[in-house]
Amino acid sequence: MGFQQGLSGLNASSRSLDVIGNNIANANTSGFKSGRAEFGDVFASSIGASGAGTIGIGVEVSTVSQQFTQGNIAITNNDLDVAINGSGFFTLELQDGSRAYSRAGEFKLDPQGYVITNTGAQVMGFPTDTDGNRNSVTLEPMRMPTSQGIAAQQTTSIIASKFTLDSAATVWNQTTPPTSLARFGTAIDCYDSQGNVVPVELYFRKIAPNVWQVYTDPTSNTTANTSQLAVLEFNTNGTLANSYIGATPPATGPTGSVRVNNWGTRDDGTGNAAAAFTLPDGTPIAAGAALPAVPVVYAGINLTDNTVNTNLTGVNYDISAALDANGAVAGGGAVATGVLPQISVTLPPSPNVTTIGLNGTGLISLDLGGIAQNNSRFTAGDLDQDGYEPGEMVGLKIEANGIITARFSNGETQAYGQLALANFRNVQGLSPTGNGEWIETQSSGQPIYGGPTEGSLGELRSGALEESNVDLTKELVNMMTAQRTYQANAQTIKTQDQVMQTLVNMR
C-alpha cells in the first residue's frame, strides 16, 4: 500500500466538498445551475503490461459537470422579473461588447430606458413594430420609452360596429311634430395632430323605408342635410345593402369615393417613386420618377354614367380612370356593388388650434359597415377611432413569447421589441463566468437564436424568477458522504504510516 492512493482520495473528496459547498452557497441564487463532481480512477501506464493484477494509483476529478435541469418558478409580481420555463438562455451584451448568456431574469431599467441586468449588461432582443411583429433578426439592446413617451396621433379613421337602427321608427317627416333630429345619435372623441380632443357627433334619421341618413348637426333640417355624411340603404332582412354620398339613393346605382391604397408608400421620401408601378389609368411610373399630385380620395365618382361604365349589371362597376396633367381625377377605380365607399368626415375646428390638418387634409375615414336595422331600440354598440393624446409610460408587460409591451398614461399600448433566447447544441460545454452568466466555448458550439416558444425554446413568465435547481436535502446527504469518504482516505494514509513505522522498528 502506498500513500498515493490515499492522497488522491483526499484531494478528490476535498474538490467534491468544494462543489457541494458552492451548490449550497447558491441555493438562493436565481437561475443558478448546480454542479456535480465526477470521478475517474487512475492507473499507471506500463509498456507490455498485461493488466492482470494491476493496482490503481488513486482517483481524480474528471470534470465538474453543470446540471441544467429546470428550477422552480417563484412568483415575484415584479414586471421586470422574467423566468424561462423550458430551454434557452437570455442573451446579454456585456459592457466590453462581448456576449454572455444567463437564466437569471432579474432585470432593471437604466436611466436611458435600456433593459439591463444587475451587473449592467444589456438584455438583447429582436426589434418589432408597435403591434409586436418582428421586423428584423438582428439582435439589438431592448429599450423602453421611459423619457420621451409617445407623441399624439391624429385620428385617421372611425369604425362603427354593433350599431342597431330601429326598423319600427317612423320616417322623419311623416309625423307632426317630427321626431327630434337628435333622437338617434352618439358621439366619440377624436384627436388632432397635437392631441387636442375634437368631438365628432353622429346622428341618424329614417328618410324612407329601409333608408337612413347619417349627419353631424341636428340643429335643423337644413343643417342635417348640409352636414350629411352618408345615406344607408338596408335589405329587407336588416343587413346593410349600400351606402351613398348623395342626398338620396340614386335610381340606378351609387355615387361613391375610391381611396388610393398605400399612395404614401410609393414615395421614397423625396417626392419620387420608390419603385416602378402603374397608375389606375394604366400610366406607368418609373422608379425614381416624380410622383404626380394624386389626391388621397377619388371623390364623387358617378357609378351610373353609361359613358364610363362598361358593366352595370355585374358584380363590379368597372370605371375607366384618368388623371389630367395636374393630377386631377377624371375617372375612378373599381368599386364592388354593396361595398361601403370611403366616407370623409370634416372635423370641427379645435378651440386650441386654428387648423387641425388631419392627414394634411382635415379628413378622416368613417366605416359604417357594422350597422344593422332591426325591430329593436336604437343601440350605439361600439364606436372606435385610432387617434390618441400624448402619453408617458406607466408600466410594461412581457408576454410568454417575449414581446415587451409598454403601457402609457393615455391608455395606449405599444410593443418595443421581443426578448431573444439562445440555445446551444451542448449546454454542458458552456463556461461559467460568475454572476449567473455563461459564455460560449468551442465545446458548446455557437448560439442558435430565436424567440420564446419558437421551436424547442421555452416560454417566458413575467413577474416570476427561476429559482436555483439546488436540492438542499440531496446536497446535505452528498456532503455527509463526501465527509465519510475523506475520513476513509485519511484512514488509509494513517494505516500506511503505521505499517511503515513497523518496518522502521524491525531489528
pLDDT of residue 340: 28
Which stretches in the chain have pLDDT values below 50? Answer: 246-264, 294-361
pLDDT of residue 146: 87
- The three cell numbers of residue 454 are 419558437
Q: What is the DSSP string of 342-385?
A: PEEEEPPPPTT-S---GGGTTEEEEEEEEEEEESS--EEEEEEE
- The three cell numbers of residue 250 are 340614386
User: Is there a contact between 221 and 258 (Cβ–Cβ < 8 Å)?
Assistant: no
**First CA to last CA across the chain, in angstroms?**
22
pLDDT of residue 231: 78
- What is residue 448's three-state secondary structure? strand
pLDDT of residue 132: 92
Beta strands in 192-247 (DSSP E): 197-208, 211-215, 228-234, 240-244
* Per-residue pLDDT tens digits for 473-485: 999 999 999 999 8
CA contacts within 13 A on the Cβ side of 296? 14
Residue 387 φ/ψ, nearest 5 degrees: -95, 165
* Per-residue pLDDT tens digits for 63-107: 888 999 999 999 999 999 999 999 999 999 999 999 999 999 999
Q: How far apart are CA 418 and CA 135, in angstroms?
A: 10
Q: Sign of the CA dihedral 326, 332, 333, 339?
A: positive
pTM of the model: 0.65
User: Is there a contact between 384 and 159 (Cβ–Cβ < 8 Å)?
Assistant: yes
Match 421611459 to its residue by C-alpha cell.
Answer: 146
User: Is there a contact between 256 and 303 (Cβ–Cβ < 8 Å)?
Assistant: yes
pLDDT of residue 122: 96
pLDDT of residue 179: 86
pLDDT of residue 211: 87
Q: DSSP character for 271? A: S
Residues 6+ apart with CB under 8 A from 18: none
Q: How far apart are CA 309 and CA 329, in angstroms?
A: 16
